Structure 1
Amino acid sequence: MTTTTALPGLALFEVPPVTDNAGAGYAVLLDNAVRAESLGYETYWVAEGRFSNIGLPSALTLLAVLSERTDRLRLGTAVIPLAFDHPQRLAETAAVVNTLSGDRLELGVGKGNGGGFSAAAYDAFGLDENRREELYAEALARLRGAFGLQRVVDGKTFGFYPPAGNLPQRLWQATSKVDTARSIGRAGDALQLHRFASGGPTGAVQKDLVDAYSSELPADRSPRIGVSRSVLPAESKRDAVRLFTEHLERDPGATPWINRGSSPSEILRDFYILHGTPEEIAAELVADAAVSASTDYLFSVPLALDDKHYRDSLAVVAEEIYPTLSTVRPNALSRNSLSTLPIPVG
């Protein structure tokens, strides 16, 4: 049993790769999450994807297993693309995982990455990706309603089971669009931000999303904003570039989203991967407008998930980088003190 106190807002975010041995890959995820709990991380977030370089089509299944191997670590999906699940079935599965974990699930949902990244998945499910916005809105509305659904059978009323408790109030939505950020705030949900943004400096672009979200948030709801950042702590910037270069040489397919021909230094720059000494990374994070306005920090490290430096970096983030951020972190609502009253959506 772990006795480590959770560090508020500190989170590990992992994107499972497609490997030759799926079972071994999932075992690495579980081991890393257990290590994160021992280091004081508050939440473990895992990505879900299919027919892509993301090797986990069912995040909730992995988190159900993880719930039995951890004691207090919060468990998050980052994110479940709603178009590929039936809302009622998703709500039921999420409620089972939440029950097994002792009310520790954070339910992150989204549309699936755009720009063609999710095209194969939409095709596999017989869906038109051009309708992704419409499909998402429909599925989200049905997911909200699913938690309170009742049916009468032979005169007896059956309700949603197992009881969802506060889970519907721990719904996180990911977006890169200002209009969607406003609707997330209006619904009283939590906001998730990507590791980098296009159209300008990531922090500035995402601060606009934070402001849009906050402007619509009901007065009785505290903001919950999760910002994802990729960091590579090392002895120096030069050493970080070396580590990243060696990673790419070992696994050329690790970054399928890059422009071919880009150097490791250019990739680190263009995709906003903060690297260097812990002090340098912490200073950049504090100067990041979106980070400074966030309540949760979803850290990822751009190395193989079973790499020794990767695992060592988890401790560096918790012990050397996070303490600087904790001094500027906004107050966040306790995960288990959320109101169970429904939030009107207009």
Structure 2
Amino acid sequence: MPVSPRPLRKLGFLTIGLFDPADPAAGHESTLQVIELGERLGFDSAWLRHRHLQFGISSPVAMMAAASQRTSRIELGTAVTPVGWENPLRLAEDLATVDLLSGGRINPGLSVGEPMHYDTVKDELYPNSSASEDFSYARVERFARFVAGEPIRAFSGRQGVVEEFSDRVEPHSPGLRQRLWYGAGSRRSAVWAAANGFNLLSSSVIFPDENQDPVFDQIQQSQIRAYREAAAASPEAPGGARVSQGLVVIPTDSASSSQREKYTQYVKERLPRTRAPQGPRGMLFAPDLIGTSDQIAEQLYAHAGFQEVDEVAFALPFSFDHEDYVQILTDIATILGPALGWSPAEAVQDPQ
């Protein structure tokens, strides 16, 4: 196996938190158990997708709050929270609160744009302002200012006997602003993220520039390099300007024969969408990586995007069972991660 020129420094995983609508509590509990397992296995981070009006986690902030009380070390993030669904001020309050409860372990990942299927929900989401809502970068810029603790009004101080008012969002969590991430799918958004002080999340979905050859890993590499170049020139860039890659990997080292069959079928059904650009913007999907950890490591070392990073948040497949996630995470932490040069964080022992 080739030796990586950049050993993997941080290893995380991403889950959608799928649940059965007939028993949603069980699905949410499963997600919390998966995060606890990730901490015991030495993962550096666990990330939650954000899904609205679907059967996945709609409130990752609440889930991170719960997970923060059941873990002590692992970082917790969102990948990503679409701020078009959010009031930026209220979101800043919630995330700062959870960050303080977690001891400074929260990594909010954000995206902009009109909410998915907006026409079907706009009258309920924004009944009086649906036509005038701003879904541009300005919305996440507002959020970042709130998190940073910048003044948002002239009024502050004591009123009456006990009422104290602040001119900034409270509570304020120092350090949270430096842990904001942006989920960029294009070169333009990657450069914007760097110029505006965000770390970069690069996932398994990207958009090529005009006249750019539709080769996923090469486009991802060019976007990461553009981000780093812009970050080096920007006084707003966070220290280190972190970049994380999020591909779907499915190691089969300890999988049963039935699991291997299920995993193979899942990858087969998703493969056609990776063979050509999709939609009017030419969206590209990365193929899922399946096989033994050695086979996956070989593919990653040859992946131009992976060659640019030293931290990842591998995405778990959407529709698998709890025991499948246990097997996949265990193989990633004990076999694939070390094959990529990663060393697990100190494991947290069960209290029994």
Letter in 1 for 2:52: R
Residue 331 of structure 2 is aligned with which of 312, 316, 321? 316
2 CA distance for matches of 1:209 and 1:113? 23
Residues 9 and 296 of structure 1 are in contact (CA less than 8 Å); yes or no, is this contact kept in structure 2? yes
Residues 210 and 293 of structure 1 are in contact (CA less than 8 Å); yes or no, is this contact kept in structure 2? yes
Q: 1:233 to 1:59 in 2, by over 3 A?
A: same
Classify the secondary structure of the residue corresponding to 1:310: helix
Stretch deviating more after TM superposition (215-224 or 165-174) = 215-224
Classify the secondary structure of the residue corresponding to 1:163: coil
2 CA distance for matches of 1:129 and 1:178? 29
- Scaled by the length of structure 2, the TM-score of the pair is 0.76
Residues 195 and 231 of structure 2 are in contact (CA less than 8 Å); yes or no, is this contact kept in structure 1? yes
Runs of 4+ that moved beyond 6 A: 127-132, 267-270
Letter in 1 for 2:125: F
Deviation per residue, 1:114-156 (Å, 9 max, x gap): 8x56664556424899999x51322112112213236324577
Higher normalized contact order (CA 8 Å, seq sep 6+, divided by chain length)? 2
Displacement after TM superposition at 1:17 (Å): 2.3
Computed over aligned residues only, the root mean square deviation of the Cα atoms, in angstroms, reads 3.2
Q: What percent of counterpart residues are identical?
A: 24
Which residue is 2:156 aligned to? 152
Displacement after TM superposition at 1:110 (Å): 0.7
Q: 1:72 to 1:243 in 2, by over 3 A?
A: same
Displacement after TM superposition at 1:84 (Å): 1.2
Stretch deviating more after TM superposition (156-165 or 270-279) = 156-165
Which residue is 1:79 aligned to? 80
Classify the secondary structure of the residue corresponding to 1:164: coil
Classify the secondary structure of the residue corresponding to 1:83: helix
Stretch deviating more after TM superposition (22-31 or 294-303) = 294-303
Describe how 1:132-151 pairs up with structure 2 within 5 A.
134-147=134-147, 148=149, 149=151, 151=155
Which residue is 1:326 aligned to? 341
Letter in 2 for 1:234: T
Displacement after TM superposition at 1:69 (Å): 0.1
Displacement after TM superposition at 1:188 (Å): 2.6
Q: 1:160 to 1:131 in 2, by over 3 A?
A: closer
Describe how 1:178-193 pairs up with structure 2 within 5 A.
178-193=187-202
Residues 46 and 77 of structure 1 are in contact (CA less than 8 Å); yes or no, is this contact kept in structure 2? yes
Matched residue count: 305
Does residue 26 (structure 1) correspond to residue 15 (structure 2)? The answer is: no
1 CA distance for matches of 2:273 and 2:240? 36
Residue 183 of structure 2 is aligned with which of 174, 177, 191? 174
2 CA distance for matches of 1:211 and 1:131? 35
Displacement after TM superposition at 1:314 (Å): 0.6
Describe how 1:34-49 pairs up with structure 2 within 5 A.
34-49=36-51
Does residue 233 (structure 1) correspond to residue 248 (structure 2)? The answer is: no
Residues 241 and 265 of structure 1 are in contact (CA less than 8 Å); yes or no, is this contact kept in structure 2? no
Which residue is 2:94 aligned to? 93
